[in-house]
Structure 1
């Protein structure tokens, strides 16, 4: 018997067996790693934490809108898509998304800050942007601004400047109307309508504040409530429109 030849064959087959064992081990290890990686990728969120001062948007609304599409897991969630869903809520101005291991989704919400009602059905925020949200949900009384859609910035600028001036005498604008020809009418909280026209509006408001005390001084007490409008569309002076009184008053 050729001993060296037998030894070589034995070593060969032993090597084959070892190789097969190694391959089997690698295959099993690869499968285990694949399953582990897959499980990690599919790690679901177990908690959603919602932060940010909110007056109109509930936590349930945020969670519900997040679940309207694919939420994903810790590694697979699309943060930009989730943020866009939250920002699609009517009262949300902006949102940010953050993940915390192992399964927490943090959502920070910044709500719209409404400044005025715009053309009855929409709202203006403090940045001068128009947004659509249920006006009936408002928790405070806001001025109503009206004007051409393309002139929203001008309307807001005029309103703020006029209100700053009128506030010096305690007047509050409740309605602001800008026509297509840029003629302006103000409705004050005391029930008086100021017709300013298109020109010299600041000067006309100042004239109103200067002359109203003079007008009232010549009238009986309580006559302020009878003034319906004051027309200031004159180079000097003004015209006063009085509400009709019923018989016996």
Structure 2
């Protein structure tokens, strides 16, 4: 194959399309294709696999454009959330794939999901939450429980315990209660939605004591 370089079939240019976030230098390093290499000697499958090993790259297509050009098309992952597990935090996409574990400062505004199997289940929950802006805007983290269901931790410390099934109905009730009773602004510790057709509210000790005193004085 080295004869192809002498015949003019050597790499002179590498064209990259689809890159927005991945560093160009990282792509070129992963390709490991350099000017002057015999273009027909390049193992295109190995090069594709190296590129797809980069965190931001979801898929890659590599092709020769004879006589002297390598064309690389990449599809990048879209960041969905920050995943916290065993004291470590990573950026994940909709498929639950880890994009990167460092330089996360620019993604602090993304939702945070917690738990071993949270990445595989996060997209479905977050898509559903986005249809309830009065709720989603208050969520600090979504915590996966026993691989079956979620708890939502609100920014003010309230825990929302969601059921394993029919989460949409539970969120309907929660959003309605918030709209009618400003639930999130009250002295509430937890809201349990795991029982169908029932919303159980747990208030803090001081609030409960004040309520009892008020009842005794009426």
Judge same fold: TM > 0.5, yes or no: yes
Please report the TM-score for the alignment, with normalisation by the length of structure 1.
0.63
Which residue of structure 2 aligns with residue 184 of structure 1?
150
Which residue of structure 2 aligns with residue 130 of structure 1?
97
Counterpart contact for 1:117–1:144, Cα < 8 Å: yes
Between Structure 1 and Structure 2, which shows a larger proportion of strand residues? 2
Correspondences of 1:98-137 after superposition (within 5 Å): 98-120=63-85, 121-126=89-94, 128-137=95-104
User: CA separation of 1:95/1:199 partners in 2, compared to 1, >3 Å: closer, same or farther?
Assistant: closer
Please report the TM-score for the alignment, with normalisation by the length of structure 2.
0.70
Correspondences of 1:238-249 after superposition (within 5 Å): 238-242=200-204
Which residue of structure 1 aligns with residue 213 of structure 2?
none
User: CA separation of 1:68/1:39 partners in 2, compared to 1, >3 Å: closer, same or farther?
Assistant: closer
Over residues 47-86 of structure 1, what are the superposed CA-to-partner deviations in whole Å (9 max), with x where a residue is unaligned?
222221312x1111111222289x9412211211111111
Q: Which sections of structure 2, spanning at least 5 residues, go unmatched?
A: 208-218
Correspondences of 1:1-249 after superposition (within 5 Å): 39-40=6-7, 43-55=9-21, 57-67=22-32, 72-120=37-85, 121-126=89-94, 128-137=95-104, 139-140=106-107, 141-149=109-117, 152-161=119-128, 163-167=129-133, 169=134, 171-172=136-137, 173-180=139-146, 182-188=148-154, 192-198=158-164, 201-216=167-182, 224=185, 227-234=188-195, 236-242=198-204
- Number of residues paired by the alignment? 200
User: CA separation of 1:236/1:85 partners in 2, compared to 1, >3 Å: closer, same or farther?
Assistant: closer
Between Structure 1 and Structure 2, which shows a larger proportion of helix residues? 1
Higher normalized contact order (CA 8 Å, seq sep 6+, divided by chain length): 2
